[in-house]
Structure 1
Amino acid sequence: MLTGLNPENTANPYDIAGKIHNDILDAYLTGYHTCSTIAQVSQKVDSISALNNDLLNLGTSSPVIYGDIQEIIDSPQTALEQAIANSPMTSTAKDCLSGFMASMLLWQDDDYSVIHQSIISFEASVLSNAEFSNEEKRIILTTSSITRYAIYYTKERKDKDWETSVGNRVGAVQGAVANSSTAVKRSTVAGIMIQNLQTQ
């Protein structure tokens, strides 16, 4: 258990997205649900999400597209590259988000305090970047918030066989292009499905 450190970054205006991700994940895992298909997991996440007022305040989420989740499961790196390439961002913002995702692979074995500080520094650079539009900042900062909280969840639950993977972050990127609410749901469903496959 991590002591004295929590995953938040109040400087990130989309910090709530990561918090909601962990709240929904917690509700799902503590309910000991035995969903095995993308449709079942998605429906259960929807029913949990409907009770989360913070998520409702983020706006109406787009439905989870089962084929997109399957692509994340089958080939997370390709799905990530496609999600970034197909986003409406400028090439500079796409490069920024791609670089952040690549960095996560380098940081994953570090202590959470180091990862947390690295992500907060990244978020500060995004916030101060005058080249990025508000929408580009929203997509990048929603993704980084969910990533920061998801990694905290992994580190906190070491003893409980929960792993987060690139799939979880791909779901965040895919969903963030639509809106922050969709990012939370898609990331959660992708993460649970990949976890299910690892523990079968």
Structure 2
Amino acid sequence: MKNLFLGLFVVLVMISCSTDEYGNTVEEVNSVSVQASVSKQLGPANDANPYDEVGKKYGIWLSDYYQIHGYSKTIQDLATQVNYMGAKLKAPDVFGKSNILITEDGISISINNPETVVTSILAAGTLSEAAESSLLGFFVSLIQNKEAEYSLLYDFITTYEAGILDSTNLTRNELETILGITAVTRYALDAEGGHKDRDWEISVGNKKIASGFHPFQASLISVIALLRYYL
């Protein structure tokens, strides 16, 4: 998945602040892209991310949901899953935000135009232009690489996180926001990683048809739908 790491190079350069950092970014991305195909990551954790606990908590909630309700196979299923997670995120001890109800139409829009939805959500937030552009590039790269193995996605995310941690162009709040979102993304993709070969279907009338939608992408759509809670 060469394009995945090319995308990583682009989003990291967005937050680089010197020629030296630019060179270091090239070396780091080249190193990861060579090794990613043979790396084997056990679990979604990244101890280098100081906000990994945000993703871990999300992963626990998601695993609990899957054990009770199973994996989402329809737009209705995914809307139910997203709203379940949203109810968890609205708890005062997490963000203290009111619940944001996601409709089936909203899920459909996210499936058909994920990049547009991410752009709209980020534009409504309070991140700086540099932080917003970088996070948008992060999601676009994931959206465009739906066929990647989880080990490659993990390496992409953790290398992006390393670049964010090294950046001097972001505020502390922006670091916390971005690294919390990337941690959630890692855990969400991992929770479904063992089921990547299952058919993901969408309902059309009374019929169910294969959507051609990679299971990892279903997890990613759920994260995108919940981005408002983190901004």
Is the shorter-chain TM-score for this pair beyond 0.5, marking a shared fold?
yes
The Cα shift of 1:157 comes to 2.3
The Cα shift of 1:130 comes to 1.0
Aligned ranges 1:37-52 → 2 under 5 Å: 44-45=84-85, 49=88
In structure 2, C-alpha distance between the alignment counterparts of 1:4 and 1:122, rounded to whole Å: 16
Corresponding residue of 1:192: none
Question: Given the superposition, is the C-alpha separation of residues 38 and 172 from structure 1 closer, same or farther in structure 2, using an over 3 Å criterion?
Answer: closer
Corresponding residue of 1:73: 108
Aligned ranges 1:1-200 → 2 under 5 Å: 5-32=42-69, 44-45=84-85, 49=88, 57-66=93-102, 70-75=105-110, 76-158=114-196, 161=199, 163-165=215-217, 166-177=220-231
The Cα shift of 1:57 comes to 5.0
In structure 1, C-alpha distance between the alignment counterparts of 2:41 and 2:221, rounded to whole Å: 28
In structure 1, C-alpha distance between the alignment counterparts of 2:81 and 2:43, rounded to whole Å: 27
**Aligned-residue RMSD, C-alpha:** 3.2
- Aligned positions, number: 169
The Cα shift of 1:74 comes to 2.2
Question: Given the superposition, is the C-alpha separation of residues 174 and 164 from structure 1 closer, same or farther in structure 2, using an over 3 Å criterion?
Answer: farther
Question: Given the superposition, is the C-alpha separation of residues 159 and 146 from structure 1 closer, same or farther in structure 2, using an over 3 Å criterion?
Answer: same
In structure 1, C-alpha distance between the alignment counterparts of 2:86 and 2:136, rounded to whole Å: 29
Consecutive unaligned residues in structure 2, runs of 5 or more: 1-39, 201-214
TM-score by length of 2: 0.60
Cα contact 1:73–1:167 (8 A) shared by 2: no
The one-letter amino acid paired with 1:71 is: G
Greater per-residue helix proportion: 1
Question: Given the superposition, is the C-alpha separation of residues 57 and 96 from structure 1 closer, same or farther in structure 2, using an over 3 Å criterion?
Answer: same
In structure 2, C-alpha distance between the alignment counterparts of 1:93 and 1:157, rounded to whole Å: 32
3-state SS of the aligned residue for 1:13? coil
The Cα shift of 1:167 comes to 2.0
Q: Deviations over 1:104-131 (max 9, x none)?
A: 1344322222221111110011111111
Question: Given the superposition, is the C-alpha separation of residues 137 and 31 from structure 1 closer, same or farther in structure 2, using an over 3 Å criterion?
Answer: same
The Cα shift of 1:136 comes to 1.2
Question: Given the superposition, is the C-alpha separation of residues 82 and 4 from structure 1 closer, same or farther in structure 2, using an over 3 Å criterion?
Answer: closer
In structure 2, C-alpha distance between the alignment counterparts of 1:119 and 1:169, rounded to whole Å: 14
The one-letter amino acid paired with 1:96 is: S
The one-letter amino acid paired with 1:16 is: E
The Cα shift of 1:164 comes to 4.0
The Cα shift of 1:14 comes to 1.8
Question: Given the superposition, is the C-alpha separation of residues 160 and 20 from structure 1 closer, same or farther in structure 2, using an over 3 Å criterion?
Answer: farther
3-state SS of the aligned residue for 1:31? helix
